[in-house]
A and B are shown apart, each in its own frame.
Chain A
């Protein structure tokens, strides 16, 4: 397997673009990544485009706007892990030697649904009984609170931290600090969650240019390497499941750490899938940043805030940067690459050398989540 590097990044600020098409949202991110990489556009061997709800041929619709077509373009749907799964396919294509230069796109337009909770498949028997994504996470939160004595107010502090970070990020959808009082007083969505416990819906795009180390070093002296790339799916059961433990993420984290030859203590910065407040706390535990039941202590210690030992979601995460589902994984990867290159701006994690990106999701009965994709980056 060949070493794989990231040589270009592009990002469109997440927000609401109801008047733009999916392609109009997507192409600026791809253009930015290509220009940044310094490659000849004709040298792109393949494109992997992740979108959950963008419809058919999202990648072709974006690439034709730039006049860059003819190469292999593969569209990937894996719910919230769509563009991180696209990155994993790109990694495999370059690592295996099949391709030298590959573009990864994440693009989504959720404003076309007019707001509200994410549309789920009505074929699913739980969706038919009234399941919505906030309720699924809320039930995890409720059980966690029952088992570990966490309070709703403590849970709300995750949102306060996310917005502290997001307020510093010019690309965040919500650039506003919130107080714990505001979090607690906002309108209820799915008890114990109020609005500020939930990520916003919106539109956005992100892109990366991935290349073999040989190609990468022609353009950059010290490119960011992708040291682990993996995708896993949830384990099906129609029976009992411990909803306080993110089994899928923990399994993926173990695989990713082994692949990269690192452990949780080596991670300087992480972008993890905080779709709802409880998710961030559960993932601290699944990634081994702390012991089970101790996530709130880690949060309140400041270790996961900017300036802490393991800064989690310096971008503001899904809660603040936003979560246009299929675009999220690529945006996380862009964030980590820019962090490791020391060009994240006001929310820079000083001296970050190793970072991880984690996108997981998909509401489907019987699975913890549908998909989980984890990447580790190093410089």
Chain B
């Protein structure tokens, strides 16, 4: 993946720790703050997440890698009690609306009774499950601001 700005893409971290669920989608900046990695079309400015290989607005393949805002608003959520093997149930899952017309599905790192529709959320990283050996699986998550 193309490197940009101050971001240290976590390919190395992912290589060192293969237990990250989707290493291409998240990176840590210089301060260690997680940022989502998206794409922006250089032709029409449409923003994608995950980064699209081809612009779904204009079909251009000229897509630059960009970091997305790390705060958004919770559109909706559910506390999931039944899921395939590997996920630690129950877990809170939600859609967070970010700027640039991006909606992100993520685990929510908060007690079920503290989650409400439309609450402001901030990107975080947390344990979301376990791999077949029982080792923790990490992913980006959202935490109430």
Contact = CB atoms under 8 A, between A and B. Distances in A.
Contacts of A126: 105
Given A129-B105, A129-B106, A142-B78, A240 B84 contact: no
B97 to A, nearest CB: 6
A352 interface: no
Interface residues of B, number: 37
Contacts of B93: 129-131, 135, 139
Q: B-side binding surface: helix, strand, loop or mixed?
A: strand
B9 interface: no
A134 B82 contact: yes
B40 interface: no
A237 B60 CA distance: 16
Interface of A: 116-117, 119, 125-126, 128-132, 134-135, 138-140, 142-143, 146, 187-193, 236-241, 243, 365
A119 B103 contact: no
B117 A142 contact: yes
B140 to A, nearest CB: 8
A221 to B, nearest CB: 50
Nearest to A120: B84
Contacts of A243: 75-76, 95
Given A125-B25, A129-B21, A143-B117, A190 B81 contact: yes
20 contacts: A116-B82, A125-B25, A128-B22, A129-B21, A132-B82, A138-B80, A139-B76, A139-B93, A146-B76, A146-B118, A188-B79, A188-B90, A190-B80, A191-B79, A191-B80, A193-B78, A238-B56, A238-B101, A240-B103, A243-B76
Contacts of B21: 128-129
A243 B97 CA distance: 13
A238 B79 contact: no
